Amino acid sequence: MRFKRTFLALVIISLLSFQSWAQQDVSIWKSVETAFGRGGKLQPDGVFKFSMPRKDLNVTVSGTSIKAGLALGSWVAFKGDVADSMVMGDLVLTEGEVEPVMLKLQQGGVEITALHNHVLNESPRVMYMHIAGHGNAAKLAQAIHDALALTKTPAEAATPPAAQKIDLNTDRIDQALGRKGTDNNGIYQVSVPRTETIKASAMEIPPSMGVATAINFQPTGGGKAAITGDFVLIAGEVNPVIAALRANGIEVTALHSHMLDEEPRLFLMHFWANDDALKLAKGLRAAIDKTNSKE
């Protein structure tokens, strides 16, 4: 009995210590949140991340209406500390927003690392601008805030949206993929980190800064789902993954880079399908098995 009480006390102390550490770690980013004009979230790998879903956009892909969480989620992530931080991100923009945002970012010392499509046959057309920077995190956040102010990206909601139950058998999807996903307000999301250590500008890039394969499922009724996301690949994996996806009825919609000086060199492959969710999960697993990914 004494052992149990001692063990329980140690567990409680450990939990309280972790909670105190997490709160302290988040508090150092307060000035960055103020500059950015919205709250961020500390990720398990130590990255401080902001999400800006483009809920103002009504986009269809091949006739399917898509939610912001499926393919319209702008994000910005910081690694380091406020005085010396690396920032990376992906901004979802309309065609008319691209030029003013690019100019404003460069004026604020933020680099543009890629500009391209992620999906095909969307209406209206949507572009994706990948960004990077290094320096004082609050100054970088202010520069990105000023650029986003030139878009119709919604401000942070005063209250979070009500949770939506996902209409998919996620246990079977997990089993097919060999990995467990998370329900993000009605979109089922799976992250698959690579085995290698990935660096840019000689700094290690954690998975939550966009270097993990991302898979999203949006229910479309009757056990079906629209899927999209991107595979993070090295050169030798590109064509085997294309073959695996196409053999399973999954369309490859883009192949490009997101960064400028990453090591090893990475290619990002975007995909799309709208079919039976379990069938698509098995097809995605066939493609994942062609990559050097963590289990």
pLDDT on residue 19: 44
Q: Into how many domains does the chain fold?
A: 2
* DSSP letter, residue 194: B
User: Please, which pLDDT band fits residue 151 given cuts at 50, 70 and 90?
Assistant: very high
Both 177 and 251 in a single domain? yes
Would residue 12 count as lying in a domain?
A: no
* Residue 178 region by backbone torsions, left for phi larger than 0, else alpha for psi between -120 and 50, else beta: left
Q: For the sheet with 64-65, list strands across it.
A: 64-65, 60-61, 122-123
pLDDT in tens, 107-121: 999 999 999 999 999
Whether the ω angle into residue 44 lies within 30 degrees of 0, i.e. cis, is no
pLDDT on residue 233: 98
Mean pLDDT of 60-84: 96
Strand pairing of 111-116 and 126-135?
antiparallel
Both 216 and 112 in a single domain? no
Return the ∠ at Cα 130 (arms to 42 and 238), rounded to 5°: 100
Q: Is the pLDDT of residue 189 over 70?
A: yes
Both 46 and 133 in a single domain? yes
Cβ atoms 128, 93 nearer than 8 A: yes
Both 131 and 188 in a single domain? no
Q: Is the pLDDT of residue 100 over 70?
A: yes
Write down the mean pLDDT value for the chain. Answer: 92
Both 115 and 189 in a single domain? no
User: Please, which pLDDT band fits residue 158 given cuts at 50, 70 and 90?
Assistant: low
User: What is the rounded distance in angstroms from the CA atom of residue 19 to the CA atom of residue 57?
Assistant: 37
User: Please, which pLDDT band fits residue 170 given cuts at 50, 70 and 90?
Assistant: very high
Would residue 88 count as lying in a domain?
A: yes
Both 189 and 136 in a single domain? no
Both 143 and 214 in a single domain? no
Q: Is the pLDDT of residue 20 over 50?
A: no
Both 141 and 179 in a single domain? no
User: Please, which pLDDT band fits residue 1 given cuts at 50, 70 and 90?
Assistant: low
From 148, 178, 196, give the residue that closes a domain. Answer: 148
Both 39 and 122 in a single domain? yes
Q: Which of these, 53, 218, 273, lies nearest to 151 by C-alpha position?
A: 53
pLDDT on residue 75: 98
Would residue 176 count as lying in a domain?
A: yes
Would residue 5 count as lying in a domain?
A: no
For 12, residues 6+ apart whose C-beta sits below 8 A from its C-beta are none
Would residue 140 count as lying in a domain?
A: yes
User: Please, which pLDDT band fits residue 157 given cuts at 50, 70 and 90?
Assistant: confident
Tally of CB atoms within 10 A around 99: 11
User: What is the rounded distance in angstroms from the CA atom of residue 211 to the CA atom of residue 170?
Assistant: 24
DSSP 56-94: T---EETTEE--HHHH-EEEEEEEE-SSSEEEEEEEEEE
Q: For the sheet with 182-184, list strands across it.
A: 182-184, 187-193, 212-221, 224-233, 267-276, 251-256
Cβ atoms 170, 188 nearer than 8 A: yes
pLDDT in tens, 43-63: 999 999 999 999 999 999 999
Q: Which of these, 126, 76, 131, lies nearest to 106 by C-alpha position?
A: 131
For 136, residues 6+ apart whose C-beta sits below 8 A from its C-beta are 82, 83, 84, 85
Both 33 and 144 in a single domain? yes
For residue 105, give its domain range: 29-148
Tally of CB atoms within 10 A around 284: 28
Both 176 and 280 in a single domain? yes
Both 90 and 193 in a single domain? no
